[in-house]
Copies of this chain bind each other. A is one copy, B any other.
Amino acid sequence: MPGSVEVSLSQRVTRVTLRNAGKLNAIDIAMWHELRRVFTDVQAMPADQAPAAVVICGADGHFAAGGDIAEFAEFRFEPARLQHFHEDIVAPALRSMLECDVPLYAQIDGTCMGGGLEIAACCDVRICGEGSRFGAPIAKLGFPMAHSEVALLRRVFGETTLREMLLEARLYNAAAAWRCGLVHDVVADDAVATQVWARCERIADTLSPQAARLNKRTLRQLAAGDLTAAEREAHFAYADSAEHREGVTAFIDKRAPRFRSPPP
């Protein structure tokens, strides 16, 4: 039975659940396609309908293992098909996450490896439980990481950690992951969902969605190089926006700003 990517939509916080029963939620090809669709859809939503944050989690006590090895024999041993898999299936799914300007949260229980770690790396904030484990031990499977995936992990986690992780096929427990900067916080295993949800609710309750959207866009533009003059000018179009006026005015009036319509 193939895996699935389940989406639980709400106006405030969307939850995306990776599920591949009996396989630690290994990401199969259908799931990569589905991930791409989900995050492209979120990014395409009008600002007043988009969620305040998206939480990515896994079913049944694990975040996600790597690819689904049951599918490997079908495409991995032929160069053109292998390149197609990494460049036309995996990379666009990860890119759709990186190009989604809503704050993304990784709620990490249990196993977070390979493709699962790459999905987590596309999130803005990563919170894990004490029992979680991290790595990308593909050197045991005889293959290297594809370049766009190395580029992602190198940018987010740094070369020092990545070299040890790849060259030793090393696994990291939660404490080691925290020390290496793989995650923002470690909490008790039964508190991960609560902790992540609280952070998202606070965003929904008190912060400007426009500010998040523009900050994420700026970070993406900077990762691609210097901004053009047109991009710089476009950035400041927010000057006259309702959220900007509301935020500054509320501060001066010593009241809480109201950036979103209250939940229905």
Q: Are B207 and A82 in contact (CB under 8 A)?
A: no
Q: Which of A233-247 contact B (CB under 8 A)?
A: 233, 235-241, 243-247
Flag whether A124 is at the interface (Cβ < 8 A): yes
Flag whether A160 is at the interface (Cβ < 8 A): yes
Q: How far is the CA of A244 from the CA of B225 in the complex (A)?
A: 35
Q: Are A146 and B206 in contact (CB under 8 A)?
A: no
The residues of B that contact A158 with a CB separation of less than 8 Å are 158, 181
The residues of B that contact A213 with a CB separation of less than 8 Å are 144
Q: Are B69 and A252 in contact (CB under 8 A)?
A: yes
Please tell me which one of the listed residues B156, B168, B202, B210 contacts residue A160 in the complex, with CB atoms under 8 A apart: B156
Flag whether A59 is at the interface (Cβ < 8 A): no
Shortest CB distance A70–B (Å): 8
Which of A6-14, A16-24, A28-36, A214-222 contacts its partner? A214-222
Q: Mark A163-186, 1 if CB is under 8 A from B, else 0.
A: 110111100000000000100100
Interface residues on A, range: 35 or more
Given contacts A150-B219, A219-B163, A222-B150, contact A208 B240 (CB under 8 A): no
Residue in chain B with minimal CB distance to A143: B244
Which of A37-45, A72-80, A111-119, A187-195 contacts its partner? A72-80
Q: How far is the CA of A210 from the CA of B59 in the complex (A)?
A: 34
Greatest chain B CB density within 10 A among A69, A154, A159, A219 is at A219
The residues of B that contact A81 with a CB separation of less than 8 Å are 239
Given contacts A199-B168, A244-B143, A245-B142, contact A150 B79 (CB under 8 A): no
Flag whether A211 is at the interface (Cβ < 8 A): yes
Given contacts A155-B159, A159-B219, A251-B69, contact A236 B82 (CB under 8 A): yes
A residues whose Cβ falls under 8 Å from a Cβ of B: 69, 72-73, 76-83, 86-87, 103, 124-125, 138-147, 150-151, 154-156, 158-160, 162-164, 166-169, 181, 184, 199, 202-203, 206-208, 210-216, 218-219, 221-222, 227, 231-233, 235-241, 243-248, 251-252, 257, 259
